[in-house]
Amino acid sequence: MLLQVEDLFVNYGVIQAVKGVSFNVNEGEIVSLIGANGAGKSTILHTISGIMRPKSGRILYNGKEIQKEKSQKIVSGGISQVPEGRHIFAGLSVLENLQMGAFLRKDKSQLKKDYDNVFERFPVLQERKNQDAATLSGGEQQMLAMGRALMAAPKLLLLDEPSMGLAPIFINEIFDIIESIKKQGTTVLLIEQNAAKALSIADRGYVLSVGKIVLSGTGQELLNNAEVKKAYLGG
């Protein structure tokens, strides 16, 4: 098991955002967390990546507790996050943004191959590698944010709302890319408002409601679940 979250409680000030959440992610899986805005999804990702600290509970990565580690150490250990809203570095070129993703890498000899892999996966980034990242379209910026995260050579990729604000043509492309990332051996934990898309590519999924997991199953089981259809799939 690559990631285990055990009885996690996280507060925003006096607000209890995550209330005793437990789930796991096995190596080689895509696992989706779905739920309404405010359900606690992003808070969970921020806590896994060390941006937030839990009130209680444990997060185990490769069997070792990481809930008290600094973000830098977590990234160095193989967990990389693509944040909601992309947060690309404006004023830096596409290539410089990718270099920032590789900042903590020690295996510098492997970097050339990984740049080539990113450019092969996202040809538009190669075409625009010297362009200011802020001038890219929303879909291209999302590709850059994903490419930047992949330059950290993660074993586990955390994706926070990758389709938010994108045109439908880009949404399909982003989900195809997520599937290809999995096929190349990177495990994915995905948070996504587009529940139908997220569950369609997920090996397994968990449904969050006001800080608690209320349902779990394979992606297909959740797609076919009457409660999920009614609440999240417009059925």
pLDDT of residue 231: 87
Q: What angle do CA 77, 92, 178 make, to 5 degrees?
A: 50
Give the Cα separation of 210 and 3 in Å (integer): 22
Q: Look at the block and give the residue holding tokens 């925003």.
A: 12
- Distance between the two ends of the chain, CA-based, in angstroms? 34
Tell me the average confidence (pLDDT) per consecutive run of 10 residues in the chain, 235 residues long: 98 92 98 92 96 97 96 94 88 95 83 91 94 93 92 94 88 92 95 93 96 96 94 76
130 within a domain of the structure (yes/no): no
pLDDT of residue 62: 96
93 within a domain of the structure (yes/no): no
Q: Would you state the structure tokens that stand for residue 203, as one six-digit string?
A: 């090996």
123 within a domain of the structure (yes/no): no
What is the span of the domain harbouring residue 173? 3-85+152-232
67 within a domain of the structure (yes/no): yes
pLDDT of residue 235: 58
112 within a domain of the structure (yes/no): no
Q: What is the mean pLDDT of the chain?
A: 93
Quote the pTM value.
0.92
Angle between helices 138-150 and 168-183 (to 10 degrees): 10
Q: What angle do CA 205, 84, 128 make, to 5 degrees?
A: 115
207 within a domain of the structure (yes/no): yes
**Are residues 41 and 33 in contact, defined by beta-carbon separation less than 8 angstroms?**
yes
pLDDT of residue 71: 93
pLDDT of residue 12: 86
Q: What is the CATH number of the domain that holds 34?
A: 3.40.50.300
Which strand ranges, in their side-by-side order, compose the sheet holding 212-218?
79-82, 156-160, 187-191, 30-34, 204-209, 212-218
* Number of domains composing the chain: 1
116 within a domain of the structure (yes/no): no
126 within a domain of the structure (yes/no): no
